[in-house]
Structure 1
């Protein structure tokens, strides 16, 4: 009986701690929504207000009324980049991971080492040479110039390789006995059994592409090529500070990420657990 009561007390304590942590993590979202419906004097006031005096929906409508800040076009650009980058980069990483795990070719270990080394190079170091290459090919202010450099994901390649190394080789051998090539085995056997990994890494790739800022800032110099992150940064400059619209724009910008996370959170956890990496 005492052991049973101890388990109940432990469960209650665990749930209380989890609820407290949930509240702590939700505080930034509360502040974001609160400020999005406030006026500038209310946001910058020294005294704290839990709720705005009135819901200022004008903060949201004015986001799309300024022709010098094409927020709607920026949302479409970010959505297009993320929708194209996520499936293509995930598919390429899956194919590369399978090749490194199963196809025995000379230099495979060297290629894998080079991919691992790319993870150790700060991304900011590669911006200038990548900009020079893409710019020399006419990629400035173009959609392909925004998308192409993000199609290779070394982290996803390593995760897929770790997953395919632990994949049962007997299943592949059965496919080879039926006359399938490496491409046939990958398309008919490997790919259908990688749905969880593809879904999880695809969701992470979507989030990364949506949140990308430095590369779109360099290559998308025309306002028509801005992404949503660049459009948000234009609300806070050395000349103008528009905090209510900045918070309102942030609320709109994070909605796709919240929906993506709610849909794919189970796949994200399962995919990383199945990769074999702790």
Structure 2
């Protein structure tokens, strides 16, 4: 027998059975969640490559009986809707809105976090107050203003009203509050002002966070529907979401065309998300928001 020195705890045996069962349950839950997440994409692709009778038929088919690859080009040949033009409009709107929002909100957040000003907190509270105002309240005044400026059916009317976001400004302020001040102080020693420190020091060292905000903003701009529907009154100014809604009317519903156009319209979002996904979680984690 071996004696144990007083005051020394005996080594505990690790029970691996519970951890194995717990891990197996976790993997099963993740697999089920992943399948549920992929179901809408499966339905979109399945219906996009079918005919309308197969989609609306009584018998369920997991895969099309005869895959209609010709459906891929059909949205671009539709004479009633210029789908290619709408894709281009959505690309321009989403890209410019993303770049503009990053510039405007990052400068606002940096100013509120770093530039000493006795009314800075009041301005910050005013920005937060905008988050409590429902979008429906400002929708009509915004439309009247845009219409009076002659921006209807133009990129200016689609982009400029959405450049500033109170929530994005809040996220940038929270991030810059946690940014190391030593780097900015070193920049000021070299003779840089607030703008120089922001552009040459802060931005290059914050690309992860900028990429995360860019991903969220791009997806939001691409999926916008109500504002482009009101501003883009002419078909040449339609975005892709407005074009998709035009395929469903009171008289006819072209199911396979709707699903194929939807599949094509989500491809840019998938590419953007896959390219920037590793920065998305990192950027949100760096906002400084604590539970």
TM-score normalised per structure 2: 0.91
Any unmatched runs of 5+ in structure 2? 1-12
Query: 2: distance between equivalents of 1:203 and 1:161?
Result: 18
Corresponding residue for residue 111 of structure 1: 123
Alignment of 1:45-124 (within 5 A): 45-124=57-136
Corresponding residue for residue 241 of structure 1: 253
The answer to which of 162-171 and 3-12 deviates more is 3-12
- 1:146-182 CA-partner distances (Å, limit 9, x unpaired): 1111111211110010011112222222222222111
Corresponding residue for residue 6 of structure 2: none
Measured on the aligned residues, the alpha-carbon RMSD in Å equals: 1.4
Alignment of 1:1-278 (within 5 A): 3-278=15-290
Look up the SS of the partner of 1:221 in the other structure: coil
- 1:106-157 CA-partner distances (Å, limit 9, x unpaired): 3211211121111111222222111111111110111111111111121111
CA positional deviation for 1:2: 6.3
CA positional deviation for 1:17: 1.8
The answer to which of 37-46 and 134-143 deviates more is 37-46
TM-score normalised per structure 1: 0.95
Report the count of equivalent residues: 278
The answer to which of 232-241 and 197-206 deviates more is 232-241
Look up the SS of the partner of 1:11 in the other structure: helix
The answer to which of 83-92 and 95-104 deviates more is 83-92
Whichever of the two has the greater Rg, that structure is 2
- 1:243-273 CA-partner distances (Å, limit 9, x unpaired): 1100001000001111111111111111110
